[in-house]
Structure 1
Amino acid sequence: MARQQLFDPWPSPTFSFVLDESVLLRPIGGREVHAEQLQNLLRIGSLRAVELQVMPMDREEQPSMDGPFNLLTVKKGEQVAYVEIHTYPRLITDAEEVRVLSERYGLLRAQALRPNESLGLIEKLRGQL
């Protein structure tokens, strides 16, 4: 809940997310909680400073098959990356490693649904519950 407050300040930082469709299908917490989670994604995805994209399940391969990662651009314009696998966090500051992940993120965005298509898919999934 505290992380969601990042969307509140004005001017808000900008956010870009690519979610795998599979995470939208898993009803963690039960049907009611799942519906609320999808509704919250619709709300967040509609914010001006947020770009939310879904990577469809029909993509045979995609650039994040190794697992999730986060890219952050700090105030000075430098990028860092963060990965956490099985509770082992790692902050990546090496410029070459960050560059590779940044390139990978660009490819992810290119292969994912456009933001309006992504919100449409989320809305459709929510309607099926």
Structure 2
Amino acid sequence: MGEVLLLIEQGAPLVALEGPHGQPGARLPVFSQRQIPARRPRAPQHRSQHPGVDSEFRRQLFERNPVSPVRKLLQRDHRDRDELLLPLPLPVAPAGVEIEVDGVGPAVEGIGTDTGQLPAARAPVQPSGLDEVGRVPVEEDAVSLYAYECRAIPGLLQPEAYIRAIFDRRLPPASEEQIEREVASRLDRQQLISTNQNTAFSFVIEESVVARRMGGRDVTRQVIDRLLEMSARRNVEIQIMATIQEDHCGIDGQMYLAETAAHQWLGYTEGQRSSSLISTPKDVSVLLQRYGRLRSQALDCRATVTLLERMRGAL
């Protein structure tokens, strides 16, 4: 049985209920029949924090995610944080998983964990990164794409065998048709790196992610070969974060960052059955600071190649 939220006005009259055998029962308030008026969030100054988002796009966001009157009332003590009431730009997800953005409902495919990308609104998909914001392309038109991963190889770097190993082990189980569709979609998305040669790609990956040997030794060899191949590209930097690292600022988990063509930075994080697209400048700045520190703490690109070659030789 779901929870029920009762809004009781101060001073509301009480009515006594009679028990099954005539004994006095509970006293409950008499509720008013008036409806709570729906109010649109007041945030004219907040809109200025989203450069490049025109009024038509904002209108579509409000239509897709109307602010609940109850949610508004529950947050009446936080009127100085209007951004909490705004329907944020929605991430897009690949077919197979439903994404929620800050608990306001299913989101929409992009760069992310075992997928690392954002999918189409309300389409069941597997989170996979920054693909679109609402209906505005992000990943394809990005000037810079950064990723820190502590759970799986970033989606843009996964070889086919690794992608299949992930979906073969996913719960609930996916059908063969779903797996084939996801594999084809992700491989097609990986063309971004070769197509967008003017985009700077940076990846910081935990050593433990490679050492885990997801899918077995043969799959891990293919993963390492793929990382070595991609690290040789001019527009790609891959750094391994050593397992033993006393100075590490990535304790809060994976993150993805994209710089749009308008030089606006967006952040993206994923969790269990949920994801968040971060566009508030102050919050994106925090992620950028952390990512910059992670790059300084990880092995440099040459040391990363040496480590990967050593790990491959040990398989």
**Do the two structures share a fold, i.e. TM-score over 0.5?**
yes
Q: 2:265–2:284: 8 Å Cα contact kept in structure 1?
A: yes
* Matched positions, count: 129
Larger relative contact order (Cα-Cα within 8 Å, sequence gap ≥ 6): 1
Extract structure 1 runs of 4+ deviating beyond 4 A. none
2:227 corresponding residue in structure 1: 41
Q: CA RMSD in A?
A: 1.1
Mark the structure with the bigger radius of gyration.
2
TM-score, normalisation: structure 1: 0.95
Mapped to 2, the partners of 1:11 and 1:121 lie a distance apart of: 26
1:105 corresponding residue in structure 2: 291
Q: Work out which of the residue numbers 47, 67, 77 in structure 1 matches 2:263.
A: 77
Q: Work out which of the residue numbers 246, 249, 254 in structure 2 matches 1:60.
A: 246
1:126 corresponding residue in structure 2: 312
Q: Percent identity?
A: 36
**1:68-119 CA distance string (max 9 Å, x none):** 0001001011100000111311110010000000000010001111111111
Give the partner amino acid of 2:294: L
SS in 1 for 2:195: coil
5+ residue gaps, structure 1: none
Measure how far apart 1:62 and its partner are.
Answer: 1.0
Measure how far apart 1:61 and its partner are.
Answer: 4.2
5+ residue gaps, structure 2: 1-186
Q: 2:250–2:294: 8 Å Cα contact kept in structure 1?
A: yes
**1:37-68 CA distance string (max 9 Å, x none):** 11101111111100111111111241111110
Please tell me whether residue 50 in structure 1 is matched to residue 221 in structure 2.
no
2:303 corresponding residue in structure 1: 117
Bigger fraction of residues in helix: 1
Q: Work out which of the residue numbers 211, 218, 227 in structure 2 matches 1:25.
A: 211
TM-score, normalisation: structure 2: 0.40
Mapped to 1, the partners of 2:196 and 2:252 lie a distance apart of: 35
Bigger fraction of residues in strand: 1
Mapped to 1, the partners of 2:305 and 2:198 lie a distance apart of: 21
